[in-house]
Chains A and B, each alone.
Chain A
Amino acid sequence: MSIERLKSPVTGVVWKATAQAGAMLDEGTTVLLIESMKMEIPVDMPRKGKLLELLVREGEAVCEGQPVAEIE
């Protein structure tokens, strides 16, 4: 299994982590919500896999393209 980093699609603030490190998640499951332009933008699993680590904390400011989670 290859390790992949999920990137934030937007500049904003991490609103909520909706999954925990170590969890096996299906494709399309939301890992994080990023608040941007008053919207909650989901960062979803691009495929089925294990969430290894969240690289950001709730309330942290993130830039577009910044890695926010590591999955396997």
Chain B
Amino acid sequence: MTKTPPGELELRRAAARAMGGDEAVAKWHAKGRLTARERIAAFVDADSFQEFGMLAGKGNYADDGTLKNFTPSNCVMGRGETNQRPLMVVADDFTLRGGSSESSVAEKWIYAERMAHEFRMPLVRFVDSVGGSVKILEQSGRTKIPGYTLWPSTAMMGTIPVASIAFGSCVGLGAVRVIGAHFSVMVKNQAQVFAAGPPVVKQGLGHEVSKEDLGGVELCTQVSGVVNNAAEDEKDALRQAQRFLSYLPASVWELPPRVVSTDDPKRCDAKLNHAIPEDRRKPFAARGIAESICDMNSLFEIAPKFGASLRTYLARLDGYAVGLMINDPMVMGGALTHAAAQKMERFVDLCDTFHLPIVNLVDQPGVMIGLDAERAGTLLAAARAGAAIEQTSVPWVSVIMRRAFGVAGSMQGPWNGPSGTSLNHRFAWPTARWGSIPIEGGVAAAYKREIEEASDPNERRMELEQYYQRLASPYRTAEAFGVVDIIEPAETRMLLCRWVKDAVRLLPSQLGQKRRTLR
């Protein structure tokens, strides 16, 4: 048996800690960036990081077999804790060959993900990788069919929370590691996420396009929605990922943690009674309503710039974690656009998967209409979002604040649910109006002839509209128990804090993986 020469372990560990070497690290710092190890240190609690695979890399040996030098893998990974909660963290090191998979030792990052999956703890990816390199061919002497065995990339989306941060240009597999997550965030003016970068686009399509235009923050978080959130800088991105995880359980086999809330669950905010303008054509500030109802400072918004006619928040009610949706009439009139429908589907799946009861604050004018919307396939996206709602078993409550019209208006909560019998537990504010179609357009269509033939068509139309508006009073629906209750808006927090107390009692019996059918 050969004996390990004294000091070799420390030598190899020091080489791993040095990453790309002093010069590469200094250059990296000069760009204002943190190294992979610094990012991990900033993310996990002090003294909680246990690195794995520190010795993976490439040794260079003399003819007699002694180690000349050692180049570590450009993947740093291990277990750590944030706020005393264990998780796996896996970070690309750009100071070594641009984070390229060329020197990453693929088994290592896959092991990190498998371990998170197997040990049922959250996974956080710090992605900063230019992707593959043609030089791999020279190293291995052969090409390989793309793909990775034993990478549970899809399975773990149903078992453990996955959060990804894009720190730099993330291409191909790097991009997939960013977007294949429950929450993704990218650093402004520093990260891009795309299938292929400008040189490949130039070669394939002949188009010249800048990196930022092709996959910068604006495109990814506002236009395509492939990444959820934008971060001002690296520290902000790390904080956002920590914040996201704070609402979720370690896995689907556990309950989301409750925090101690200092906000009175019976707090009534009189301002809410005037939050909805009397003139139904006037929009309102959606976030202000959500803030007033939830525990103070508990809102964490996902995808604020994408499909923003629907706002999606992780939030707390009396310390319990919930998912909260609210329509924002300032954006596209609050309509369910293609983007908003995609966002709704993903958010509902997220909440159902991780046992977050859902609160839906509704002011829904309907599925977006018009040529652009039809061409985009908005109806299919809306139907998928509706199916996602039906497939939830997590408790729901909806409060109709104002409009609930048409197909999208029917999507306040599950009508049947997976059990086929779920309660559609819904309340309304006195300002609510609902129906298959809005009265304004509906009267014009149904009474076309009568209005045209009237001596004053405009006056006749308004008369008819007023008549139907009176019929559309929500109190008439309440008489028929078509809504559980109409409440004073100021009482909403109290109602929801009581509801959540009952709702969370169901969660222990729902632990484990959720099954969903085709949608």
Which residues of B sit under 8 angstroms from A11, Cβ to Cβ? 370, 372
B281 contacts A38, C-beta separation under 8 Å: yes
Q: Check B142 for interface membership: any CB of A closer than 8 A.
A: no
Contact among B283, B335, B365, B438 with A40 in the assembled complex (CB-CB below 8 Å): B283
Does B209 sit within 8 A of A, measured CB to CB?
no
Contact of A1 with B by CB under 8 A: no
The CA-CA distance from A56 to B183 in the complex, in Å, is: 40
Residues of chain A lying within 8 A (CB to CB) of residue B368: 37
* A9 to chain B: closest residue by CB: B331
Which among B280, B329, B330, B332 has the highest number of chain A CB atoms within 10 Å? B332
With contacts A9-B331, A10-B333, A11-B372 known, is A37 near B283, CB below 8 A?
no
Contacts of A41 in B (CB 8 A): 283, 329-333
B332 and A40 within 8 A (CB): no
Would you give the shortest CB distance from B371 to chain A, in whole angstroms? 9
Interface residues of B in 347-369 (CB under 8 A from A): 365-366, 368-369
In the assembly, what is the distance between CA of A64 and CA of B438, in Å? 23
CB contacts under 8 Å to A, within B433-468, are 438, 440
* Cβ-defined contact, A36 with B440, below 8 A: no
How many angstroms from the CA of A42 to the CA of B282 in the assembled complex?
9
B329 contacts which chain A residues (CB < 8 A)?
Answer: 39, 41
B332 touches A37 (CB 8 A): yes
Per the bound structure, the CA–CA distance linking A11 and B331 in Å amounts to: 10
The smallest C-beta distance from A28 to any residue of chain B, in angstroms, reads 12
Contact for B282 among A9, A10, A40, A64, CB less than 8 A? A40
Bound state CA distance, A10 and B368, in angstroms?
A: 11
Q: Which residues of A contact B438 (CB under 8 A)?
A: 38
Q: Are B333 and A37 in contact (CB under 8 A)?
A: yes
A5 to chain B, nearest CB (A): 16
Question: Does B161 touch A at the CB level, under 8 Å?
Answer: no
Chain A residues positioned under 8 Å from B372 (CB to CB): 11, 64
Are A37's CB and B331's CB within 8 A? no
Residue of A nearest to B403 (CB): A38
B333 touches A38 (CB 8 A): yes
Contacts of A38 in B (CB 8 A): 280-281, 333, 365, 438, 440
Please tell me if the beta carbons of B333 and A36 are within 8 angstroms of each other in the complex.
yes
Task: Name the distance in Å between B462's Cβ and chain A's nearest Cβ.
Answer: 15
Q: Considering residues A10, A35, A37, which has the most beta carbons from chain B within 10 angstroms of its beta carbon?
A: A37
- In the complex, A52 Cα to B370 Cα: how many Å? 32
Report B-chain residues with C-beta under 8 Å of the C-beta of A64. 372
Q: Which residues of B contact A37 (CB under 8 A)?
A: 332-335, 365-366, 368-369
Assuming the A-B contacts A9-B331, A10-B332, A10-B333, are A39 and B370 also in contact, with contact meaning beta carbons closer than 8 angstroms in the complex?
no
Contact indicator A40/B281 (Cβ below 8 Å): yes
State whether B334 touches A39 (Cβ < 8 A).
Answer: yes
CB of B196 to closest CB in A, whole Å: 26
Contact mask for chain A residues 6-50; partner B; CB cutoff 8 A; 1 contact, 0 none: 000111100000000000000000000001111111100000000
| Contact indicator B283/A42 (Cβ below 8 Å) | yes
| Closest Cβ–Cβ distance, residue B350 to chain A (whole Å) | 27
In angstroms, Cα B369 to Cα A36, docked, is 10
In Å, the complex CA distance between A11 and B334 comes to 13
- Find chain B residues with CB under 8 A from A10 CB: 331-333
What CA separation (Å) do A37 and B333 show in the bound complex?
Answer: 5
8 A Cβ contacts from B264-286 to A? 280-283
Inter-chain CA distance A52–B283, complex, in Å, is 26
Question: Which residues does chain B contribute within 8 Å of A42, judged by CB atoms?
Answer: 283, 330
How many Å from the CB of A8 to the closest CB on chain B? 11
In angstroms, Cα B334 to Cα A12, docked, is 13
A9 to B330, CA, bound (A): 9
**In the bound complex, what is the Cα–Cα distance between A68 and B443 (angstroms)?**
32
What's the minimum C-beta distance from A44 to chain B, rounded to whole angstroms?
10
Instruction: Tell me the nearest residue of chain B to A12, going by C-beta.
Output: B333
30 inter-chain pairs at a CB distance below 8 angstroms, sorted by A residue, are A9-B330, A9-B331, A10-B332, A10-B333, A12-B333, A36-B333, A37-B332, A37-B334, A37-B335, A37-B365, A37-B368, A37-B369, A38-B281, A38-B333, A38-B365, A38-B438, A39-B281, A39-B282, A39-B283, A39-B333, A39-B334, A40-B282, A40-B283, A41-B283, A41-B330, A41-B331, A41-B332, A42-B283, A42-B330, A64-B372
Question: 20 additional contacts, CB 8 Å, given A9-B332, A37-B335, A41-B332?
Answer: A10-B333, A12-B333, A35-B281, A36-B332, A36-B333, A37-B332, A37-B365, A37-B368, A38-B280, A38-B333, A39-B281, A39-B282, A39-B329, A39-B333, A39-B365, A40-B282, A41-B329, A41-B331, A42-B283, A64-B372
